[in-house]
Structure 1
Amino acid sequence: MLAFLARRLLTLALTAWLATLLIFALLQLVPGDPALLMLGTAARPDTLAALRAQMGLDEPLPLRYLGWLGGLLRGDLGTSVTYARPVAGLVAERMAVTLPLAALALLLSTALAVPLGLLAAARHRRAGDWAVAGFGRLGISVPSFWVGILLILLFSVKLGWFRAGGFPGWGAGAGPALMALLLPAAALAIPEAAILARVTRSALLDALREDYARTARAKGLSGAAVLLRHVLPNALAPVVTVLGLQAAFLVGGAVVVENVFTLPGLGRLLYQAVGQRDLIVVQGIVVILVILVVLANAAVDIAYAALDPRPKVA
């Protein structure tokens, strides 16, 4: 187990380093002068020169990469041209919205998908199974931003239960803040719950065909007892794998939903930075998102190893 974890951590570090190399290289492929692109053709020469020096454009590429990588390891992502503030501070402020939003969406997705998967497996080839299958097909085919618009029309415009957008801040209290995140979290969660419900159903049905499930039924256990006590724990590995992938997607995929609900999160900051041509902010956010995805994948590997204690060969 320790050797397996060591290999996974080494792979994690190597993947993160390759990601930084790729992101830096892509930024260098931007046509023309990045400083001129960010400031526009009307910028003064001394302003352009100052930004080129700030971005290290007057140094050789290897030195620029090493300097940027060293700053990244120290938590220094550069300074935003638009906001005139450290990018790390901007990202930290926006993560205070994006991470709770993603966590709440993941919680809602799991709370909806696992019971639906259990229902579909328990009612295999009956009305309950068909209803879950229909929800799965519908949820997969509907984008999260469209779900968000429907939720706004129903719960904000029609019923008036929730605000249509905005975020009061955590200083207003946990209750109002979570209420503001509930609708966007549901918009993110419903399509992911459709995927997770189908995966849960398939994993449970596969486990139900195993010898231990047949033995448990032969011993006189009820179908619900067999499903919950014997089958569900053994079917968790693929479910946890999909959960980990969804966690990474929910952090990086909140860009559109945050703009639909005008939430001041990381996705909205990225959208604004692209519109303002603030490449330093874009680069910093993309690096953070990639690192979060890599960490989520590493967490999935570790959780999978804990759920499946058989010797690991890879």
Structure 2
Amino acid sequence: MIAFLARRLVATLATLLAASVVVFLVLEVLPGDPALLMLGTEARPDTLAALRGQMGLDQPAPLRYAAWLGDMASGQFGVSYTYGRPVGELVAERLAVTVPLALMALVLSVAVALPLGILAAARHGGAGDWGVMVFSQLGISVPGFWTGMLLVLLFSGQLGWLPSGGFPGWGNPGAAFAALVLPAVSLAFYEAAIFARVTRSAVLDTLREDYVRTARAKGLGWRAVLWRHVLRNALAPVVTILGLQFSFLWAAGTLVIENVFYLPGMGRLLYQAITQRDLIVVRDVVMMLVGVVLLVNLAVDLLYAAIDPRPRAGTGG
């Protein structure tokens, strides 16, 4: 297990380093002067020179990359030109919205998808199976922002049960939770569709294994076989998809939904930084998102190894 963990840590660090090189080079090859791009053509020369010094543009690119890498390793991020505040402070504030939103969406999607996937596999070819497949296809096909707008029209416009957007802060937990319900459902609808389909396929594949037929031949009941033997072995691919989808929720899913519902989260921060040409925030936030995705994938690898020991037992993997 220690060797397995060491290999995964080395791969994660190597990937993070490669991603930092890509992010730095992408901003480097942008046409024109980055400081001029941020301030506009009407910027005063002294203001332009000050921003160039703040961004380190008066130094060679390798030195700027090394300094940026060292600052990130020590937890010292840059200062946003638009907000005039350290990027770390901005991110800490926005995480208080994005993390609960992503977790709510993940919990909702798993709570809906796992029973539906198991039901579809247990009723393979029946009405329940067809119903779950229709739900899955619908959830994958409908964009999240469209689902969000429909939910706003129904629960905010027609019924008036939930707010249509904005975030009051966690000073009032009830209002804050209510503000995240519709965005979380919008995200969970798509995620639940994927989880339900993956769960159905995994359970069906496991049901065809020889040990399942042996257990049934020994007289073990259907429910006992399903819960004792099938589900644990079927969870491995589900856990993998779960980690990938949580990374999607964190890095991409909230980018659209937070702007639809005007939530001050990480996705909206990145969108505003792009529109305001705040390249310092864009660079640091993108690297933070990459780091979170890699950490989630590392956690999924470890959880997968705990469920199924075969990957860590093999010499290659």
Aligned AA for 1:196?
F
The equivalent residue for 1:211 is 210
The equivalent residue for 1:103 is 103
Aligned 1:153-172 pairs, distance under 5 A: 153-172=153-172
**What per-residue deviation string (whole Å, max 9, x for no partner) do you get for residues 31-83 of structure 1?**
10000000011111000000000000000111000011111112122010110
Aligned 1:1-314 pairs, distance under 5 A: 1-173=1-173, 175-253=174-252, 254-310=254-310, 311-313=313-315, 314=317
Q: Alignment partner of 1:129: what SS?
A: helix
Q: CA deviation at 1:220?
A: 2.4
Q: CA deviation at 1:283?
A: 0.8
Q: CA deviation at 1:219?
A: 2.6
**What per-residue deviation string (whole Å, max 9, x for no partner) do you get for residues 204-225 of structure 1?**
0010011221122223233222
Could you tell me how far apart the structure 1 residues matched to 2:38 and 2:294 are?
29
In 2, are the aligned partners of 1:270 and 1:281 still within 8 Å (CA)?
Answer: yes
Could you tell me how far apart the structure 2 residues matched to 1:21 and 1:96 are?
29
Q: CA deviation at 1:286?
A: 0.6
Number of residue pairs matched by the alignment: 313
Could you tell me how far apart the structure 2 residues matched to 1:169 and 1:133 are?
38
In 2, are the aligned partners of 1:112 and 1:193 still within 8 Å (CA)?
Answer: yes
Q: CA deviation at 1:104?
A: 0.8
Task: Kindly report structure 1 stretches of 4+ aligned residues shifted beyond 6 Å.
Answer: none
**What per-residue deviation string (whole Å, max 9, x for no partner) do you get for residues 211-264 of structure 1?**
221122223233222212210111000000000000100011211100111100
Could you tell me how far apart the structure 1 residues matched to 2:94 and 2:222 are?
47
Aligned AA for 1:244?
G
Aligned AA for 1:115?
P
Could you tell me how far apart the structure 1 residues matched to 2:145 and 2:100 are?
18
Structure 1 length normalisation: TM-score?
0.98
**What per-residue deviation string (whole Å, max 9, x for no partner) do you get for residues 171-223 of structure 1?**
112x3222211110110111111011110000000100112211222232332
CA RMSD of aligned residues (A): 0.9
Could you tell me how far apart the structure 2 residues matched to 1:222 and 1:249 are?
39
Structure 2 length normalisation: TM-score?
0.97
Which has the higher mean CA deviation after the structures are superposed, 73-82 or 54-63? 73-82
In structure 1, runs of 5+ residues without a counterpart are none
Q: CA deviation at 1:304?
A: 0.8
In 2, are the aligned partners of 1:4 and 1:312 still within 8 Å (CA)?
Answer: no
In 2, are the aligned partners of 1:77 and 1:88 still within 8 Å (CA)?
Answer: yes
Could you tell me how far apart the structure 2 residues matched to 1:157 and 1:312 are?
56
Aligned AA for 1:221?
L
Q: CA deviation at 1:158?
A: 1.3
Which has the higher mean CA deviation after the structures are superposed, 61-70 or 224-233? 224-233
Aligned AA for 2:314?
K
Q: CA deviation at 1:11?
A: 0.4
Could you tell me how far apart the structure 2 residues matched to 1:184 and 1:223 are?
38
In structure 2, runs of 5+ residues without a counterpart are none
Could you tell me how far apart the structure 2 residues matched to 1:163 and 1:144 are?
18
